[in-house]
């Protein structure tokens, strides 16, 4: 993938001609580095036709063991191309190279995990009667559509296609127009790993045309979407016209809740990382800090020190944080910062850092303190390196503040009290509660509450989600 080449859609084992293209910009410099094929609805048709043909031609009949072998081969192929994929991801998204390596490793890990679990996807025998055998079996849907955002193309792409492929479906993946390069390369590598042509397809271009055509296509039997709430609603509505189920992983405003007995030596760096990772462009970012007023000042001081020591620069130079994905996103985040100046106390950051390329899309790591639960910067997803800080006096106040959000993806809880930790797990209205950590693995199911969406990703639950249950009754003749 050299500079200024055209990144084309990969459909049915080949690259499609590009009738029109969009510019691809380096977020660190603002320079155009390549062109991206802008697919049409006809291209989406070709992808779905190719996927259905591959499904009917034999993919649907592959055994779990055969698919496991291919998934492991894909993981091996990704691992062999780790350096290449990380470099593509870093330049395309602007994220630091070390984070891009983590994404490449997670991509391989997703395929490895589902290779190791797919043979445990079992039906049930139901003891309904002695003269008949009643049982269920799990079957693939057919062709599944996957629409992902620009913040983690490798990570989110593999997170959703790996369980679908493992379950026996064929996939059409639509990455965001701001970051598609690694997903196209991934589709190429699937062929290298031994997947039949048409099993994994990637269509590129604008969401308003390509994403809309994919989510509303009658040939798609299940849709997976990760992105904003308004687009998620539109995707669900389009899928519903065909009576197709949709999994929606949408916005987040995740809280880290820190009690006075927390180990701040452990909590402070993890909390900082939870908002600075990928320059805050993470749906589950720990963008809200709720801290017991007794340790508020100490924790805030520690965070300021960490933020002050965080370098900002071009992703391939491997700084602490890189740029945002686009000028549009940078301006959006800076707009929220201006709003925050009128709602709370700006502690650090608040603008464009010094010493970065003038054309890049950079925002300095930023902390606001004294943020009320109903403040705009506390309620709305900023999607940048901006941390809001509020305080509480007791456990009830902490729960009320954390649950005041319209979102419900993840919450972090920091305490040495096991009973309190379990009460927080019980009472927080989120899909994941992480106690004394803010990290998780591929094994832990990921789901939202409220405006964070519905459906399940990751873990064994995702494998089940990409199958349908068929029930059967067989009479025992002569019994």
Write out the catalytic residue numbers. Answer: 249, 283
- DSSP codes of every residue in 316-380: GG--SB---S-HHHHHHHHHHHHHHHTTSEEEE--SPPTTS-TTS-----EEEES--TTSHHHHS
Nearest to 383 by CA among 279, 306, 255: 279
Which residues neighbour 57 within 8 Å (Cβ) at sequence distance 6 or greater?
A: 196, 198
Which residues, at least 6 apart from 396, have a Cβ–Cβ distance to it below 8 Å? none
Whole-number Å distance between alpha carbons of 192 and 190? 5
What is the 3 state secondary structure string of 233-285? Answer: HHHHHHHHCCCCCEEEECCCCCEEEECCCCCHHHHHHHHHHHHHHHHHCCCCC
Q: Distance between CA 143 and CA 218 in Å, rounded?
A: 10
> Which H/E stretch holds residue 42?
helix 41-57
The answer to whether 335 and 300 have CB atoms below 8 angstroms apart is no
Query: Which residue carries 């805050």 as its tokens?
Result: 280
Secondary structure (3-state) at 143: strand
- Which of 102, 97, 84 lies closest to 155, judged by CA? 102
Please work out, in degrees rounded to the nearest 5, the angle formed at the alpha carbon of residue 43 by the alpha carbons of 38 and 47.
125
**Strands 222-226 and 125-126, bridge-based pairing:** unpaired
The three-class DSSP label of residue 10 is: strand
Directed axis angle between helix 82-93 and helix 181-193, to 10°? 160
Name every residue whose Cβ is closer than 8 Å to that of residue 373 and which is 6 or more positions away in sequence.
379, 390, 401, 404
């Amino acid at each position: 993938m050299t500079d200024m080449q055209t990144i084309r859609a990969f459909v049915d084992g080949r690259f499609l001609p590009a009738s029109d293209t969009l510019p691809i910009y380096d977020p660190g410099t603002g320079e155009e580095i390549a062109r991206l094929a802008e697919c049409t609805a006809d291209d989406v048709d070709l992808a779905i036709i190719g996927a259905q043909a591959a499904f009917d031609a034999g993919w649907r009949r592959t055994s779990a063991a055969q698919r496991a072998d291919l998934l492991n081969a894909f993981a091996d192929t990704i691992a062999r191309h780790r350096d290449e994929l990380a470099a593509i991801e870093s330049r395309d998204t602007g994220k630091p190279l070390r984070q891009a390596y983590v994404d490449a490793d997670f991509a391989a890990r997703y395929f490895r995990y589902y290779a190791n679990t797919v043979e445990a996807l079992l039906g049930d025998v139901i003891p309904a009667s002695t003269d008949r055998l009643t049982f269920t079996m799990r079957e693939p849907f057919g062709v599944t559509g996957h629409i992902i955002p620009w913040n983690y193309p490798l990570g989110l792409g593999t997170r959703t296609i790996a369980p679908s492929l493992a379950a026996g479906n064929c996939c059409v993946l639509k990455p965001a127009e701001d970051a598609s390069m690694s997903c196209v390369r991934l589709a190429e590598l699937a062929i290298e790993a031994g997947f039949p042509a048409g099993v994994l397809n990637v269509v590129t271009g604008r969401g308003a045309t390509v994403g809309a055509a994919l989510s509303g296509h009658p040939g798609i039997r299940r849709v997976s979407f990760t992105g904003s709430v308004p687009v998620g609603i539109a995707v669900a509505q389009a899928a519903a016209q065909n009576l197709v189920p949709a999994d929606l992983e949408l916005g987040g405003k995740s809280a880290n809740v820190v009690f006075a007995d927390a180990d701040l030596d452990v909590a402070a760096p993890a909390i900082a990382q939870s908002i600075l990772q990928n320059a805050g462009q993470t749906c589950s970012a720990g963008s809200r800090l709720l801290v017991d007023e007794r340790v508020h000042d100490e924790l805030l001081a520690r965070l300021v020190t960490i933020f002050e020591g965080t370098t900002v620069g071009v992703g391939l130079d491997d700084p602490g944080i890189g740029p945002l994905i686009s000028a549009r996103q940078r301006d959006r985040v800076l707009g929220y910062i201006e709003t925050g100046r009128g709602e709370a106390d700006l502690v650090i950051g608040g603008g464009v850092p010094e010493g970065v390329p003038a054309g890049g899309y950079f925002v300095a790591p930023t902390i606001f303190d004294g943020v009320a639960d109903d403040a705009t910067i506390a309620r709305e997803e900023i999607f940048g390196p901006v941390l809001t800080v509020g305080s509480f006096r007791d456990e009830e106040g902490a729960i009320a503040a954390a649950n005041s959000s319209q979102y419900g993806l993840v919450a972090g809880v920091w305490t040495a009290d096991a009973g309190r930790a379990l009460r927080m797990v019980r009472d927080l209205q989120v899909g994941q509660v992480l106690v004394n950590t803010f990290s998780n693995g591929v094994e832990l199911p990921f789901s939202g509450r409220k405006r964070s969406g519905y459906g399940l990703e990751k873990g064994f639950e995702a494998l089940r989600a990409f199958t349908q249950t068929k029930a059967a009754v067989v009479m025992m003749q002569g019994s």
